[in-house]
Structure 1
Amino acid sequence: MLDHMSTEDRRRREREAREALFIDRAHARIREDGLLGLQMSKLAADCEYATGTLYQHFESREDLLAAVAARSTRKRAARFRVIPGLDLDTRARMLAIVLADIDFAAVNPDYHRLMQYLVTEVVWANVSVARRTALLEAARPISEAVGAVVSEARAHGDLPPAREMGAEEMGLGPWALNVGMQDLANAQGLLDAYDIHRPYDHLIRHFHALLTGWRWEPCLDPDDPARVRAETDRVRAALAAAGIGADTVECERTAAD
């Protein structure tokens, strides 16, 4: 019995290591050749395995891409776990969520492009239920952080009492602004065509306009650039003190290289 368990455990570890290798190399291929340049047969050859072995791990190319995205999403989501506990007012903590994600996107541009591609209808439909579920589960700490900050804001009176929208529904507003602006910023030339520059500065001002419209205290005038910049600097300092500031981003970039 013990020998059987040891054999099963060894096989499991070997499978996990092989799958990690496929994901690592696929991520590298995406960075080198772009999303559309990733080919299953070439990837298998790069890893010195038969193409059939690769398909034993991933039912399709879309499943492989979802696995790459899930691993990066777990890294992305890890930085959100500490934000609800930061020594900041609730409005500032919501800003911290947006700023932390901007920083992640700055050093992982391939991740956001991958997510844009994955969630298009024709691609998402070809991702298996298991891989789709794993990707959504990897992102859970993000929605939990957003919901926790909104709930605390209501409990402390920073936000008016709820009428219709729950905490997650209200959190959807600033999060949708964040994701939407990142989509626009990653579409090469799109904003330039409209002579719109510094998209993340615009994102932060729109963020404050939305929260001020909700009467989220302490209020901040989005048309006061100096006040907006000062608040951004204050929150970035708190993120850095918590170990998820610009220095951490640079460390992640170095480690990835």
Structure 2
Amino acid sequence: MLRRMSTEDRRRREREARETLFIERAHARIREDGLLGLQMSKLAADCEYATGTLYQHFESREDLLAAVAARSTRARAARFHAIPGLELGTRARMLAIVLTDIDFAAGNPDYYRLMQYLVTEVVWANVSAARRTALLEAARPISEAVRAVVAEARANGDLPPAREMGEEEMGLGPWALNVGMQSLANARGLLDAYDIHRPYDHLIRHFHALLTGWRWEPRLDPDEPAVVRAETARVRAALAAAGIDTRPVEREGAAAD
């Protein structure tokens, strides 16, 4: 029995190592050749395995892309664990969530392009249920951080009491602004065509406009650029003091890819 279990453990470790190799090399291929340049047969050859072995791990190219995205999402989400406990007001902590994601986006543009591609209807439909679930679970710490900050804001009176929207629904507003601006900023040339520059500065101002409209205290006038910049600097300083790393993941080593 012990011998059989040892064999099973070895096979499991070997399978996990192969899968990690496939994901790491696929991520490198995406950075080198772009999303559309990733081919299953070439990836298998790069890793010195048969194409059939690759398909034993991933049912489709879309499943492989979802696995690459899930790995990066776990690195992204790890940055959010400590934010609800920062010694800042709830509104400032919500800003800290957005700033942390902006910094991740700046260092990992390939990740956001991959996510945009994955969640298009035709691609998402071809991702298996198991890989979808793994990707969504990888992002759970982000939604939990947002929900926790909104819940505390309501509990201590920074936000008016709930009427119809729950914590997760309330958190959807600033998060949708963030995700939407990421999509626009990564669509090369789109904002330039409308003579719109510094997209993340606009994101922060829209963020404050939304929270002030909700009467989230302390209120801040989004039409006072110096005040907005000062608040951003204050929150960034708090993130740095708390040791929440905002360096690009690609510079942090393979474990964060």
Query: Which band: TM-score by shorter chain?
Result: over 0.9
Q: Deviations over 1:5-59 (max 9, x none)?
A: 0000000000000000000000000000000000000000000000000000000
Contact 1:62 1:123 in 2 (8 A): yes
TM-score by length of 2: 0.97
Q: Say whether residues 1:227 and 2:252 are aligned partners.
A: no
| C-alpha distance in 2 between matches for 1:9 and 1:21 | 18
Q: Deviations over 1:119-151 (max 9, x none)?
A: 000000000000000000000001000000000
**1:255 Cα shift?**
2.6
Contact 1:69 1:114 in 2 (8 A): yes
**Which amino acid in 2 is paired with 1:149?**
V
Counterpart in 2 of 1:253? Answer: 251
| C-alpha distance in 2 between matches for 1:254 and 1:54 | 27
**Which amino acid in 1 is paired with 2:160?**
P
**Which amino acid in 2 is paired with 1:255?**
G
**Which amino acid in 1 is paired with 2:22?**
F
Counterpart in 2 of 1:185? Answer: 185
| C-alpha distance in 2 between matches for 1:112 and 1:253 | 17
* Identity level (%): 88
Report matched runs for 1:30-109 at 5 Å: 30-109=30-109
**Which amino acid in 2 is paired with 1:203?**
L
| C-alpha distance in 2 between matches for 1:70 and 1:186 | 19
Report matched runs for 1:111-126 at 5 Å: 111-126=111-126
Contact 2:108 2:250 in 1 (8 A): no
**Which amino acid in 2 is paired with 1:185?**
A
**1:241 Cα shift?**
1.3
Q: Secondary structure at the match of 1:221?
A: coil
Contact 1:236 1:245 in 2 (8 A): no
- Where in structure 1 do 4 or more consecutive aligned residues deviate above 3 Å? none
| C-alpha distance in 1 between matches for 2:83 and 2:72 | 19
Contact 2:70 2:134 in 1 (8 A): yes
Counterpart in 1 of 2:174? Answer: 174
| C-alpha distance in 2 between matches for 1:250 and 1:36 | 24
Counterpart in 2 of 1:17? Answer: 17
**Which amino acid in 2 is paired with 1:5?**
M
Contact 2:79 2:245 in 1 (8 A): no
**Which amino acid in 2 is paired with 1:112?**
Y
- Count, aligned residues: 255
Cα RMSD, aligned residues only: 1.1
Counterpart in 2 of 1:194? Answer: 194
Q: Which runs of 5 or more structure 1 residues have no equivalent in the other structure?
A: none
Contact 1:209 1:222 in 2 (8 A): yes
Contact 1:79 1:100 in 2 (8 A): yes
Contact 1:178 1:203 in 2 (8 A): yes
**Which amino acid in 1 is paired with 2:106?**
A
Counterpart in 1 of 2:154? Answer: 154
| C-alpha distance in 1 between matches for 2:112 and 2:18 | 25
Q: Say whether residues 1:140 and 2:140 are aligned partners.
A: yes
Taking CA–CA contacts closer than 8 Å with sequence separation of 6 or more, which of the two structures ends up with the larger relative contact order?
2
Contact 2:160 2:215 in 1 (8 A): yes
Distance change in 2, residues 1:252/1:39 (3 Å): closer
**1:250 Cα shift?**
5.0
**1:243 Cα shift?**
1.7
**1:254 Cα shift?**
4.7
Q: Secondary structure at the match of 1:6?
A: helix
| C-alpha distance in 2 between matches for 1:204 and 1:76 | 20
Contact 2:26 2:38 in 1 (8 A): yes
**1:253 Cα shift?**
1.7
Distance change in 2, residues 1:188/1:80 (3 Å): same
Q: Which runs of 5 or more structure 2 residues have no equivalent in the other structure?
A: none
**Which amino acid in 2 is paired with 1:253?**
R
